């Protein structure tokens, strides 16, 4: 394979749907590049599975190489010596841009394999016309057919051939349910064809059958759907076999398409029939132009074929055509469609020689032997071989022995520490194997596959001399992983031959297929290889599982690893052990059923055991840095990691400073850009050296601050101090005004102290926009801006004596394009008063209430225009201070509460409980009062209203339900803000890649309103209805209603569909039908539990 091909090639992957949430673009891998022009820059590669989703990211998983937000980035194009041709595996893109095939990987933000916004649609591959059965040339042998084609051109035509063939060609829709090895989770469509109708065998590509866990169905021409069981996928060549139950077809009997690799010839007219571009049935014509094209390269880290020739024709296939048969005029398959160029019409087909051998063994129920010496060979023409030193006598003999051949095999690479390492070298010319002259891949593989566990005698020409080497043949299946471990929401497996070859590294180590929550806490993203955990070496999955079992939950341990793109640069990071959110289990492929079977692993020790107190000398600044030295003993650092993307989150890691407000109870205040939601792990660094596990205690529903808590007994006598508030500023008697002198004491990005003496430049209402997906935003509060704002993560504003007069925090929002933005803003210390006093006096939180409105300011001149009378203006003028603006209702935050129904957009708030309203803090948050008396200016008249208040919960989300890959919760406040009326209390917050929810169209931002036409309003009703359905189905199964086929398809036959009625925020209603899969996506619920370390407990419904 020549370096020139790399990266311009696309592998025809099935149409791959990897929702990444909000911003991932679909990447389809299409394979193949042609030509021999000088080197040119090529584009990214894709496989031909039709990408049916678009979104995040990612996050998680995809995250990726993963950015700071966890999103996976597409591969960087490389130089290709085969010209300016872009290649890829053809999985057809059905979302957005079918003309620009790029494969979309499924790593969401943080590599959590999750789907966010906007929703993606999935194209259903089908075929359109029901053909008649043609028997025009039954019984005619190949030679007669060839003679007919030459001497009687009208005797055989394409129409009857295609009408017969399409009865045996199927559209495949599949869900890759976990990231594994080179594959990522997601949904895709592709093509296959029946090669043994009696045994129910369907041939397709290896990247369609997939080494990862999948759930797949085939749709025949008459729209009958059958379950598929993966029975074989080749370790390196791009072919695999599915099995279906022939008895499951009730209305047609397909015939087998014969495999005829010997018939492929240059100049042959062919037809490629399949699910091209997700367009149901497509028939593409072409002429075979090459039979000896090097295998296309789809990029580093992707699945790649090697040690084989490919066929080439200009048939212009695209995504979704993976696995299509390449037919001759007699209906025989002469090759298997695999990939093609994104910038030309060239398509690339896998020869069938080795497929015929594997098919026959699978038919007989035998193992398919595959041998390897961990060496990649390439075929070079004789002119290049002469430059490598090939002796003329050897060339003469080879040309005489193989007159049709134009070259010989050479060694391209050998893997370090592999069987051939040290015996073969790059550039060696292969002369013979076991004494037999070898010049092609088929002969070499035939010998190698028959010598597993034995030695090969390989004769090579190196430079000017012949050498004879002896190399032991490995079992290729043994170096192809068939196990993985799910840990902390991520997936790891042993480094495979594919990965090792791609990056030229030795086999061994733990490959991160998906980072998830736990590995992501140490920035160990997809594409990393873990070498040790907690100072225990991890050479394989068994040693990795042992290392994990020795850890303690909620502890922090060192992990050594390297990124595959920098294999010689080892990294060490601190990982937070968090096995309380996700199951820790081992998955093993069962080749008999096609399922991956799970077994639980020994988990780390629970964190409930008491820890010894840790003592540090403290965290101090010199006296010269006053008033920073007064504040600094109260400063802590907070790490917050999110395991599930709920409450509108798109990122999973947050970092910022906090300030101790009660050292005896361990209370710490921080902003809500550091701790945005309640679901997550909190780690608090005290005195710069002690790291403790914390818990989220309080999230203010309006203002931008949160309270977390640590166990003060765990720091012993470590000198820490409560932050000291200026009493007049805490009570609200005084506020920072324009021109006031302040001292900023903050924490920089490298966690050092930042001190700045500056002045207040202005006070103004904080402006934030509704976010997508909906999440908390700060509103109804005034912010403080400074003249010379320091670059930092956050801090406090204080006077020269170190008394705090305000907070300096990070405020998160989005711009008009829904891109995340953060701004540094100061807030009055008085916003903390009610909370701090309640904690210190009663060890509880205040009763927070709201009028469910968003407020903004209006100039007095505009108020006069709207009908503000002279008497009221005179009254306002008599107030202390210069009042130039009033407050008015910018909008209501929900239409469900009494307050939102009484107040209207445009109302100017004049009085509250008989007092003139001059500041937003008088009306933005109300403490304790069940109702308030308001006077508003409405339509030019003053109106008195008694407005009931709405009680706000400081821990808004109290449960999260996982069902069929969807995370469901009650709609939180930010969601209610963006919809006129709630359809139900069953809100889909996130969907996971490769899940039924992802596959069948259940998207984030939808509400479930009916299950099987039964209305459901609450999550409890939703779960109760599902339990009733389950019990009903179990009874049917007990009565024998689902066991007609038995055997390996029993689990598949028990699969059920559930009809859901869903509504989006635009009040558009849809009916969905989801196929349940409790094997890979069992239901569970996460419930708030203050008695646990994290504050949450997982309940699994078996």
Those residues whose C-beta lies under 8 Å from the C-beta of residue 595, and which sit 6 or more positions away, are 213, 1051, 1079
Cβ distance 180 to 215 under 8 Å?
A: no
Q: Where are the strands (E) in 353-482, listed by range? A: 371-372, 375-381, 407-414, 429-433, 436-437, 455-462, 465-472, 474-475
- Catalytic annotation present for 641: no
pLDDT average, residue stretch 132-160: 51
How crowded is the C-beta side of 41, counted as CA atoms within 13 Å? 2
Distance from chain centroid for Cα 387: 48
What are the φ and ψ backbone dihedral angles of 1000, each rounded to 5 degrees?
-105, 10
The SS3 assignment for 187 reads strand
Give the pairing type, strands 10-11 and 87-89: parallel
Catalytic pick among 50, 65, 282, 321:
321
Banded pLDDT at 605 (limits 50, 70, 90): confident
Choice between 101 and 251, residue whose per-residue pLDDT is larger: 251
Catalytic pick among 207, 517, 653, 726:
207
The Cα-based distances of 412 to 376, 435, 464, 474, 475 in angstroms read: 6, 22, 18, 19, 21
Cβ distance 560 to 525 under 8 Å?
A: no
**Digit-coded pLDDT (tens) for 571-600:** 999 999 999 999 999 999 998 888 999 999
Cα dihedral 325, 326, 329, 334 in deg (nearest 10)? -100
Q: Where are the strands (E) in 700-802, listed by range? A: 706-709, 741-747, 753-765, 782-786, 794-798
Banded pLDDT at 876 (limits 50, 70, 90): confident
pLDDT average, residue stretch 617-646: 92
Longest dimension (CA), the chain: 114
pLDDT at 613 (0 to 100):
78
| Eight-state DSSP code of residue 781 | S
Cα distance between residue 735 and residue 756, in whole Å: 19
Distance from chain centroid for Cα 1037: 35
Residue 32's closest CA among 313, 328, 411, 335?
313
Cα distance between residue 927 and residue 933, in whole Å: 14
Banded pLDDT at 610 (limits 50, 70, 90): low
- Can you give the pTM of this predicted structure? 0.84
pLDDT average, residue stretch 982-1005: 94
pLDDT at 166 (0 to 100):
92
- According to DSSP, the residues that pair with 1084 across neighbouring strands are 962, 1100
How crowded is the C-beta side of 404, counted as CA atoms within 13 Å? 4
**Digit-coded pLDDT (tens) for 635-679:** 999 999 999 999 999 999 999 999 999 999 999 999 999 999 999
Cα distance between residue 981 and residue 1021, in whole Å: 19
Provide the 10 A C-beta neighbour count for residue 384.
Answer: 12
Q: What is the DSSP string of 961-1007?
A: EEETTEEEE---HHHHTT-SS-S-S-EEEEEETTSHHHHHT--TT-E
Cα distance between residue 321 and residue 189, in whole Å: 9
Cα distance between residue 178 and residue 185, in whole Å: 5
The SS3 assignment for 4 reads helix
The SS3 assignment for 1017 reads coil
Distance from chain centroid for Cα 191: 25
Evaluate if residue 155 carries a pLDDT over 90.
no
The SS3 assignment for 492 reads strand
Instruction: Encode 557-608 in three state secondary structure.
Output: EEEEEEECCCCCCCEEEEEECCCCCCCCEEEEECCCCCCEEEEECCCCECCC
The SS3 assignment for 1065 reads coil
How crowded is the C-beta side of 706, counted as CA atoms within 13 Å? 28
Catalytic pick among 23, 238, 440, 673:
238
Percent of the chain with pLDDT over 90: 69
Residue 352's closest CA among 312, 325, 320?
325
**Digit-coded pLDDT (tens) for 431-445:** 999 999 999 999 999
Cα distance between residue 105 and residue 769, in whole Å: 30
Q: Which domains does the chain have, with CATH numbers?
A: 1-155+258-368 (2.40.10.10), 374-472 (2.30.42.10), 478-600 (2.30.42.10), 632-645+657-714 (2.40.10.10), 727-838 (2.40.10.10), 848-951 (2.30.42.10), 959-1088 (2.30.42.10)
Cα distance between residue 1004 and residue 1066, in whole Å: 13
- According to DSSP, the residues that pair with 655 across neighbouring strands are 639
The Cα-based distances of 1068 to 115, 716, 1008 in angstroms read: 20, 58, 12
pLDDT at 556 (0 to 100):
92
- Catalytic annotation present for 799: no
In terms of DSSP H, where are the helices of 135-184? 142-151, 158-165
Token pair in block for residue 707: 């309270």
The Cα-based distances of 239 to 61, 210, 828, 925 in angstroms read: 27, 10, 66, 64
Banded pLDDT at 1039 (limits 50, 70, 90): low
What are the φ and ψ backbone dihedral angles of 427, each rounded to 5 degrees?
100, -10
pLDDT at 279 (0 to 100):
64
Choice between 386 and 74, residue whose per-residue pLDDT is larger: 386
**Digit-coded pLDDT (tens) for 352-367:** 999 999 999 999 999 9
Token pair in block for residue 562: 């390297």
Cα distance between residue 770 and residue 773, in whole Å: 9
**Digit-coded pLDDT (tens) for 188-218:** 999 999 999 999 999 999 999 999 999 999 9
Q: What is the DSSP string of 318-338?
A: -TT-TT-EEE-TTS-EEEEEE
Average pLDDT, the chain: 84
When mean pLDDT is compared across 20-34, 179-193, 200-214, 241-255, the lowest value belongs to 20-34
- Catalytic annotation present for 321: yes
**Digit-coded pLDDT (tens) for 813-871:** 999 999 999 999 999 999 999 999 998 888 888 999 999 999 999 999 999 999 998 88
């Amino acid at each position: 394979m020549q370096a020139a091909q790399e990266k311009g090639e696309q592998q025809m992957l099935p149409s791959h749907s990897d929702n990444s949430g909000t911003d991932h673009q679909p990447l389809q891998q299409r394979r193949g590049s042609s030509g021999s022009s000088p080197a040119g820059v090529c584009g990214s590669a894709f496989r031909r599975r039709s990408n049916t989703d678009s979104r995040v990211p990612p996050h998680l998983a995809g995250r990726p190489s993963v950015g700071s937000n966890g999103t996976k980035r597409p591969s960087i194009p490389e130089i290709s010596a085969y010209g300016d041709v872009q290649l890829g595996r053809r999985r057809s893109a059905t979302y957005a841009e079918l003309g620009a095939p790029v494969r979309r990987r499924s790593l969401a933000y943080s590599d959590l394999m999750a789907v966010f916004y906007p929703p993606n649609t999935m194209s259903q591959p089908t075929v359109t016309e029901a053909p008649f059965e043609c028997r025009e040339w039954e019984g005619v042998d190949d030679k007669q057919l060839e003679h007919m084609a030459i001497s009687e051109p009208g005797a055989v035509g394409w129409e009857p051939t295609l009408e017969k063939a399409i009865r045996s060609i199927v559209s495949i829709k599949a869900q890759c349910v976990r990231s594994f090895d080179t594959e990522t989770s997601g949904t895709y469509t592709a093509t296959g064809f029946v090669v043994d109708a009696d045994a129910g065998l369907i041939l397709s590509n290896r990247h369609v059958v997939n080494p990862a866990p999948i759930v797949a169905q085939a749709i025949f021409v008459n729209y009958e759907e059958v379950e598929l069981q993966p029975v074989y996928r080749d370790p390196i060549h791009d072919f695999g076999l599915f099995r279906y139950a022939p008895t499951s077809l009730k209305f047609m009997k397909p015939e087998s398409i014969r495999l005829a690799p010997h018939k492929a010839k240059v100049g042959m007219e062919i037809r490629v029939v399949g699910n091209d571009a997700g367009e149901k049935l497509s028939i593409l014509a072409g002429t075979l132009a090459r039979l000896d094209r090097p295998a296309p390269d789809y990029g580093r880290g992707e699945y790649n074929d090697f040690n084989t020739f490919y066929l080439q024709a200009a048939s212009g296939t695209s995504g979704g055509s993976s696995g299509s048969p390449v037919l001759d005029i007699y209906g025989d398959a002469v090759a298997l469609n695999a990939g093609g160029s994104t910038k030309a019409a060239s398509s690339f087909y896998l020869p069938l020689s080795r497929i015929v051998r594997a098919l026959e063994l699978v038919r007989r129920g035998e193992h398919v032997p595959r041998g390897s010496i961990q060496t990649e060979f390439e075929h070079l023409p004789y002119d290049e071989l002469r430059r490598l030193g090939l002796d003329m006598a050897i060339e003469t003999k080879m040309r005489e022995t193989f007159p049709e051949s134009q070259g010989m095999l050479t060694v391209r690479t050998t893997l370090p520490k592999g069987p051939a390492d040290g015996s073969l070298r790059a550039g060696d010319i292969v002369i013979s194997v076991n004494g037999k002259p070898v010049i092609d891949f088929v002969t070499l593989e035939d010998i190698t596959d028959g010598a597993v566990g034995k030695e090969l005698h390989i004769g090579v020409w190196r430079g000017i001399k012949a050498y004879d080497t002896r190399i032991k043949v490995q079992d290729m299946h043994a170096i192809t992983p068939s196990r993985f471990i799910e840990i902390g929401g991520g997936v790891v497996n042993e480094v495979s031959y594919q990965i090792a070859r791609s990056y030229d590294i030795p086999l061994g180590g733990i490959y991160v297929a998906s980072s998830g929550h736990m590995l992501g806490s140490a920035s160990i993203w997809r594409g990393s290889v873990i070498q040790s955990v907690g100072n225990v070496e991890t050479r394989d999955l068994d040693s990795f599982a042992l290392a994990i079992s020795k850890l303690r939950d909620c502890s922090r341990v060192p992990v050594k690893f390297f990124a595959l793109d920098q294999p010689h640069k080892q990294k060490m990071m601190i990982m937070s052990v968090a096995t309380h959110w996700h199951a820790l289990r081992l998955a093993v492929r069962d080749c008999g059923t096609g399922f991956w079977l799970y077994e639980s692993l020994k988990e780390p020790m629970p964190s409930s055991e008491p820890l010894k107190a840790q003592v540090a000398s403290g965290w101090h600044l010199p006296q010269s840095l006053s008033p920073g030295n007064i504040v600094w003993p109260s400063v802590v650092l907070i790490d917050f990691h999110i395991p599930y993307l709920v409450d509108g989150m798109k990122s999973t890691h947050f970092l910022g400073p906090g300030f101790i407000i009660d050292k005896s109870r361990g209370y710490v205040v921080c902003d809500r850009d550091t701790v945005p939601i309640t679901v997550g792990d909190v780690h608090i660094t005290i005195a710069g050296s002690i790291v403790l596990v914390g818990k989220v205690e309080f999230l203010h529903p309006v203002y931008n601050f949160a309270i977390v808590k640590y166990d003060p007994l765990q720091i012993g006598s470590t000198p820490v101090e409560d932050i000291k508030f200026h009493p007049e500023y805490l009570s609200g008697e005084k506020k920072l005004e324009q021109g006031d002198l302040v001292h900023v004491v903050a924490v920089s990005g490298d966690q050092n102290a930042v001190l700045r003496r500056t002045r207040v430049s202005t006070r103004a209402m904080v402006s934030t926009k509704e976010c997508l997906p909906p999440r908390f935003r700060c509103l109804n509060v005034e912010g403080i801006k400074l003249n010379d704002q320091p670059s930092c993560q956050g801090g406090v504003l204080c006077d020269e004596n170190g008394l705090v007069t305000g907070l300096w925090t990070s405020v998160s929002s989005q711009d008009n394009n829904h891109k995340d933005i953060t701004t540094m803003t100061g807030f009055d210390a008085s916003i903390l008063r009610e909370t701090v006093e309640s904690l210190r006096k009663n060890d509880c939180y205040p009763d927070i209430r709201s009028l469910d409105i968003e407020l903004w300011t209006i100039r007095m001149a505009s108020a006069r225009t709207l009908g503000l009378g002279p008497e009221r203006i005179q009254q306002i003028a008599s107030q202390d201070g210069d009042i130039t603006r009033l407050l008015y209702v910018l909008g209501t935050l929900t239409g469900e509460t009494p307050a939102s129904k009484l107040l209207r957009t445009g109302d100017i708030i004049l009085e509250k409980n008989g007092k003139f309203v001059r500041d937003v803090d008088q009306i933005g948050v109300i403490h304790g009062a069940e109702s308030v008396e308001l006077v508003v200016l409405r339509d030019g008249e003053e109106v008195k209203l008694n407005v009931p208040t709405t009680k706000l919960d400081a821990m808004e989300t109290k449960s999260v339900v996982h069902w069929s890959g969807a995370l469901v919760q009650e709609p939180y406040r930010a969601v209610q803000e963006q919809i006129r009326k709630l359809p139900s209390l069953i809100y889909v917050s996130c969907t996971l890649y490769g899940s039924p929810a992802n596959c069948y169209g259940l998207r984030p931002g939808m509400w479930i309103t009916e299950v099987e036409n039964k209305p459901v309003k609450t999550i409890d009703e939703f779960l109760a209805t599902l339990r009733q359905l389950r019990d009903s189905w179990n009874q049917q199964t007990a009565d024998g209603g689902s066991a007609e086929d038995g055997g390996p398809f029993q689990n598949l036959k028990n699969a059920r569909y559930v009809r859901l009625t869903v509504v989006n925020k635009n009040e558009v209603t849809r009916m969905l039908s989801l196929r349940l899969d409790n094997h890979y996506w069992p239901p569970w619920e996460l419930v708030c539990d203050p008695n646990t370390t994290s504050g949450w407990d997982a309940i699994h419904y078996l």
